[in-house]
Each structure stands twice: as C-alpha cells, then as structure tokens.
Amino acid sequence: MDKLIHDDKGNTTISNDGATIMKLLDIVHPAAKILVDIAKSQDSEVGDGTTTVVLLAGEFLREAKPFIEDGVHPQNLIRSYRTASYLAIDKIKELAVSIEGKSLEEKKTLLAKCAATTLSSKLIGGEKEFFASMVVDAVMAIGNDDRLNLIGIKKVPGGNMRDSFLVNGVAFKKTFSYAGFEQQPKKFLNPKILLLNIELELKSEKENAEIRLSDPVQYQSIVDAEWNIIYDKLDKCVKSGAKIVLSRLAIGDLATQYFADRDIFCAGRVTEEDLRRVAAATGGTVQTSVNNIIDEVLGSCEVFEERQVGNERFNIFSGCPSGQTATIVLRGGADQFIEEAERSLHDAIMIVRRALKNSTVVAGGGAIDMEISRYLRQHARTIAGKSQLFINSYAKALEVIPRQLCDNAGFDATDVLNKLRQKHASGEGVNYGVDINTGGIADSFANFVWEPAVVKINAINAATEAACLILSVDETVKNPKSESAQGEAAANAMAGRGRGGAAFRGRGGRGMRRR
C-alpha cells in the first residue's frame, strides 16, 4: 500500500518506499529517530528493504515488551536477540544460491528476476518485466563502476509508462538557446565532441573597471580587441575539428550563429552532472581553455541526434566508445507518479548492482523469513533457561514480513501463515512463501521471486542492533537547566514588555494632569 504525505509547504508525495516516508515524517521522539536512521542506512547500503528493516525492528520491540513488563533484565534479552541474529544470518548464508559462473544471458535473466521482485510491490509493479530488463541493461552498461550518477534518470510528463526508453549513452534536455540555434544540424554520425568549461560570449567588464583614453580613436581599437578575443576562441573551436561543442557555461548569440554558419551543433549551460556523464561515455576531457586542443581531448560517439520526447527536446548521444553510462527516460501521467517511478527504479538499480557484486540470492515473498523462524524455534528447544523464550519471541517477530505481505495484498494473514508454518515444518517447503496473485502459498524460487541475500542480512543486522539499542536504554535524561533557562528568558521578555507598557501609561497619565 502507498502513503500520501502532505507537508506544510504544500508538497505532496505518494510513496511506499520506507526510507522516503521516514525522511518526510517530522519525527520528534528520540527512539523513533533510531528507526529513521536504520531505514536511511539500509537505503544507502543496499537500496531496498527499507520497509522491512523498520517493520522488523518494531516487531522485535513489540515481542520484547511483555518480558520487560514482567521484570526481565534487558541485557538478557539483548544477549538472546544477538545470538538469534547470528544464527539467522548463518542460516541465510547456508540457504543462499550463487549466480556466479553463469553465462551473460543467464546472469541477465537472473538479475531481471531480482529487479522484478523489487518492483512488484511498487507503483509501477504492473510493468515490472518491462522496467526490470531496462534496469539490468542500464546497470550492465556502467560495468564495474560504482558511481550511481552514471545512470541518469530523466523525467518527461505525458504518454504512458511503456513510452519510457533506455539510451545506451547520454540524453539530456535541450538547454537554453539563442537565435541561430535552429539553423544548426540536429543529427551527426561519428562526430568529434568538444567539452568546455568556459563562456563563449562577449562579457561586460566588472563594475569598477575603468579605461582612460587620451584620443577617441583609441576607443575603436579597444572594441575591436574585444571582438577579436571572442572570434579567436570560436575559430580555435572550429579548427579543432569538433562537430559538437558543449559548455557548462553560456554560449552566446554570436557564438551560436558562428557555429550554425559552419554546420556545428552547440549547447551552453549544460549541467555539470550531464557534462561529466558525456565525458565518461564519449572519452572526452572537459577543457578550461580553447588553446592547444588536441585530438586526444575530443570525445566521439556513433550517433548524435536531437529528438522530440513529449513536449521536450532531448540531445541524445548513443553508441559511445567507453559505454560507461546509460540514461533512462521516464514517461507517465502525473508528476508524483513519475517521481515515485524514479524512486522505484533507484531501488531496483541498487538491488541489481548488489546482486552483481554479492552474487547470492534467496527466495523472496516471506519464504526466507518463515524458514529462519522455523529454524530458530527448533534451535530454541535445545537451549535451557529463559533464553529459549527470548529466541522464540525473535522467531515469532520474523513472521511479520509474510503477515504484512498478506495484509497489503488483501488476503487472510492467519490462514496463509498457518499453511506456511505447516509447509516449512514438513521440511519440504524451504522456499515456500506468500503468493500474492492467488492468496495462497507457492514456491518463491520456482516463481522467480528472488532477492539478494545481502538485503536480508543487512536488514536483520540493522533491525536487531536498533532493537537492542532501544532495549539497553533504561532512563531518559533531559537537561532541566537549559529548559528552565529558556523558560526564565521567555518570562523576563514578557515581564519586560509588561513593565514597558506600564511605564508608558504612567508617564502619559502624569502628563495629562500637568496640562
């Protein structure tokens, strides 16, 4: 289920991403802030499982509450919870299946299944196969590079989700342009690309600049020198052999017309992120001067074209030699919908990257949680003393994941959980989880509902640590001195206003009597 969050500035966000929701909530309680922190850490470390980690931490605390109320010392609970988490993580590693040693096509198919599992709970879940393959292609395009900003996501309102497309290269919106831009060619094959970080326009002098002339004739030579400087820069750009000139700073009307007359495409005020991605893809280097431009600093691509996408025009570089970047152009109706689609794709991209690096996957749909729960219950029977109860409560808390899946899909959680417990207890249903299509149970692995093992390991680790941290707190101490100081300051301010008013009235009254 999605949440609609409306803030005091009037911004509306629709999302079911745990980290996004936690960030947008104005949380004051210090213990609740810990849950926000673990959701953020899960998002930055793994990218998905943010809702899982908050759910688990909350459920661990709920299961611990009766024990604390009955007078159990928190340290006993913490020890048992930590032991249970180590056992759970070892069991996950034991059940995980490696995808190493597969061919590229097989690996792509497996990664697409992981991405589809992530997207199934999102707003764009109806088109998960379409977007899953797009995400896998985008991640494969950047190779082993860790920089997530090499995958650009551009949002264009209008059309439907199926109109979204992937560019194996760079795409960015047409920048602000001057007269003469429409006369420039809009398509090139195998062009040379010059990337600049300088202005190509006539600049006005600073406010305090001053030139003193003894002869009016000299004025013209100063104006000519100014024009010669800009023409010299433009001439060097043309002589470099580049057919496309991009700059992070402005390219003025004179330069635009100059390039148009020579069949060169130019774009100024390109954002730094897009310029960096163009450099990574085309093999070019951003220049801060137009002097001594050699072939080695120029980039290249197979095809450059300017294409209309909805109401926007996009500059698209494809067939880049380095191939170290990709761009997903997202289409859709409402702005909130496209923004949620972008957040969903971010989660899927992170998951695919993690699956590529840590190449082990486990069954999703609550299957791994039920199996760990069964394993911990079984292990608890071999332990004497109170720890048995605490590990049992930890095992019960893990069942919150399949229960929540059933609730969100509108099925009877009690009925489904009973079937799952029965199947896992028989020893045959290790990979059985919730089937959200039929409302029953199914083999998650056979149905390709997979998730990287690192997601579950990280979620259990973070949730256990957060629960143990909150349990270990036995007293909340506020600083009463600072509070009383604030109170006194406020009281003094009020009293001061009151005295001032009284004095003013008094003086006014005496003045009237004298008169």
C-alpha dihedral (199, 204, 210, 216), degrees to nearest 10: 110
- Closest alpha carbon to 137 in 159, 160, 111: 111
**Minimal CA–CA distance to 453: which of 372, 395, 374?**
372
Q: What's the rounded Cα separation, in Å, for the pair 496 and 418?
A: 69
| Tokens encoding 193 | 């690309």
**C-alpha dist (Å) from residue 148 to 65, 289, 301, 318:** 41, 29, 22, 19
Token pair of 173 as six digits: 């919106």
Other CB atoms within 10 A of residue 467 CB: 28
What are the CA-CA distances from residue 184 to residues 251, 344, 378, 490 (Å)? Answer: 14, 38, 73, 66
Name which of 18, 29, 52 is nearest 456 in CA terms.
52
Distance separating alpha carbons of residues 62 and 471, to the nearest angstrom:
11
Region of 273 (left: φ > 0; alpha: ψ -120 to 50; beta: rest) is alpha
Closest among 431, 401, 429, 434 to 416, alpha carbons compared: 434
Q: Is 479 exposed, middle or buried (0-12, 13-18, 19+ CB in 10 A)?
A: exposed
Q: Judge whether 4 and 13 are in contact, CB under 8 Å.
A: yes
Distance of CA 148 to the CA centre of its chain: 9
CA distance 483 to 313: 57
Query: What is the number of other CB atoms lying within 10 angstroms of the CB of residue 473?
Result: 11
Q: Which of 361, 364, 448 is nearest to 113 (CA)?
A: 448
Q: What share of the chain is helix, strand, coil (3-state, %, to 5)?
A: 55, 15, 30
Catalytic (active-site) positions: 17, 50-51, 347
CA distance 253 to 179: 6
In whole angstroms, how far apart are CA 389 and each of 59, 64, 379, 471? Answer: 15, 10, 11, 17
